[in-house]
Structure 1
Amino acid sequence: MALRPVHVNIKALDPPAVGRFWAGALGWSAYQPGVTTYVGPAGGLVWPDPVVLGVDIVPVPKAKGTAKNRVHLDLATTSAAHRAELLARVSALGATPVDVGQGDVPWTVLADPEGNEFCVLEPREVYRDTGPIAAVVVDCADPVAMARFWGEATDWTVRGVTDEQAVLRSGEGVGPYLEFVRTPGGKTVPDRVHLDLLPGPGDDRATEAARLRALGATDLDLGQGDVPWTCLTDPEGHEFCVLTAH
C-alpha cells in the first residue's frame, strides 16, 4: 500500500487567471474539467499523468495573506539563455519579485499574480530531466522526521537525508523532486499550497487514510463537508489530501 503524489493544489480567488499564469510559466496547458483549473502538459488532459505533477487550482473566497507559503515550486532551467527567457516570460505573465530573506543567492524568488512564491533556479545538472518543475519545496523543522513520514506515506523513494534537507523522488526516477528544507518558524496560517495523493490500484481512500493516521497524520476539518477526499496534516501540520481512486 502506498500513495502517489498526483498534483500540487493551489488555492486562488481567480483559478482561471492563475491557471493561465502557470500554464504560460510551465509551457503547459490549462484545462477546466470542473470548478477547478488544472494545468498539465499540452495535448489534452491526462490525469493522473504518468510522469509529471500537475497543478490543480481551486477556488476560495479569501486572498493570500502576507505570510510566506510553506510550500512552493522551484522551476528548472537548462542554460543561462533559458533562464533569462523564463524570467522574461513569467514577468510578462504577471510575476513579481519578492524578498523572503533569501539574501544573495543564484536563484530568483518571485510570486505569481496572487502572491504565491516560486523560484526560478539557475541551471543545475540534478534537475536536467525533471521537466519544468524541478522540485516541490516544503519548509519544515525536522527534515529527518519528514523523510520518515513521507517516505512511508508515499510510493516515492527517499534519495537523501541530512539535518538540513530531505529529498524524495518517484521510484521510477522521473518528474520533479519533493524536498523538505529546514526553515525557521512554524505554521501560522492555513496552507495555501499542498499536495494531493492518490491511492494505488486496488487500494482505497479510507484504508490509506487510516494507515497515514497510524504514521502520525491528523484529520483536518476545513469545513469541506462530505467530499470524495480526506483532508489530513502530516506530523508538522502540512496539509494534504487523499483522493478517491478512480
Structure 2
Amino acid sequence: MALHLEAVTFDVADVSSAAVFWAGLLEREVVPEPGAALLPGDATQVGLRFVTSETERVGRPRLHLHLTSSTPEDQRRTIETALRLGGRHHDVGQTDDERFVVLADPQGNELCVMEPGNRYLAGTGHLGEITCDGPRAVGLFWRDALGWPLVWDEGEQTAIQSPLGGTKIAWDLEYRSPAEPRVGKNRYRFDLVSAEPAGEVERLLSLGATRLAPRPDDVRLADPAGNELSLRPERDSPPPR
C-alpha cells in the first residue's frame, strides 16, 4: 500500500491564530502555505493543517482533539499553556466529577485535556486522538484505505490507529446530534500523498469513495459519508489552497 496520511485539515476563520495556538500547545513547528499552515506530524503523531475559510460555521465545531497527560502536574501545565495561548474553559455538559478538562481554542474549537492514566489513550503520545463526526462505515473505510487497524468498534463509534501506534482517529455519530444537519462545506478532511496516486484513486473508489470533480485528473474525492479527501503525488509540493 502506497498511501500516507499527511494531515487532517480543518477550515478555520483565522489560520494564523489557529496555527500559533496549536503549535504552542503541541510543541510543533508551523510551515506556512498559501492560505494555510501545516503543523507536520511524524511516524506516530498525525499532522494538522489549517486552511482559511470564510464560510459561516453552523452547529458544533468539527475540530475536537484529545491531549494526553502523564501526571496531574503535566495535565495542569497543558491547561495553563492552553489558557496562556488564548484558550478558555468550555462547557459541553461535563460534570464536576470528570477528571478530564474541556477547553476551547481562540476560535471556539474544542479540546479535552485527558487525565493521567487514561487507558484508552495509553501510549498514543501527546496528541492522543482526533475525533471526527461520522458513522461506523467511515471508520471501516479509513481502516481499509490507510491499512490502519481498527482499535475501537462499539455501536457507531470506531477508531483506527497506525500500526506504529500514536494518534488515534475516531468517528462518533453521537458527536453530532441526529437532529443537527450538516450545513455547507465539511470543515475537516484528509490530505493524502502517494507514490502511485492513480492506482490509489482507483483503490479508494473501489472501497466506496466518490469523485467530487468530473475530471479524472482531479483527485478530490469524498469518503462514504461525504467527507472530502485529497490525494497528491508524494514528491510534489502541496497544492495551492
The alignment's TM-score, normalised by the length of structure 2, stands at: 0.81
Structure 1 residue aligned with 2:126: 132
Structure 2, gaps ≥5 residues long: 236-241
Q: Residues 141-156 of structure 1 correspond to what in structure 2 (within 5 A)?
A: 142-143=135-136, 145-156=137-148
The equivalent position to 2:193 in structure 1, one of 167, 192, 198, is 198
Structure 2 residue aligned with 1:57: 50
Structure 1 residue aligned with 2:81: 89
| Distance in 2 of aligned mates of 1:231 and 1:102 | 38
* 208 and 71 in structure 1: CA distance in 2 versus 1, 3 angstrom threshold: farther
Amino acid at match of 2:190: L
| Distance in 2 of aligned mates of 1:68 and 1:209 | 31
The equivalent position to 2:224 in structure 1, one of 222, 235, 239, is 235
- Residue pair 1:23, 1:40 contacting (<8 A) in 2 also: no
| Distance in 2 of aligned mates of 1:159 and 1:92 | 34
The percent of aligned pairs where both chains have the same amino acid is 29
| Distance in 2 of aligned mates of 1:103 and 1:235 | 35
* Matched pairs, number: 228
| Distance in 2 of aligned mates of 1:139 and 1:72 | 10
- Residue pair 1:69, 1:191 contacting (<8 A) in 2 also: no
Amino acid at match of 2:99: P
Counterpart secondary structure, 1:4: strand
* 99 and 2 in structure 1: CA distance in 2 versus 1, 3 angstrom threshold: farther
The alignment's TM-score, normalised by the length of structure 1, stands at: 0.80
Structure 1 residue aligned with 2:19: 19
* 208 and 117 in structure 1: CA distance in 2 versus 1, 3 angstrom threshold: same
State the Cα distance separating 1:126 from its structure 2 match: 4.0
- Residue pair 1:67, 1:189 contacting (<8 A) in 2 also: no
Counterpart secondary structure, 1:77: coil
* 51 and 69 in structure 1: CA distance in 2 versus 1, 3 angstrom threshold: same
Structure 1 residue aligned with 2:238: none
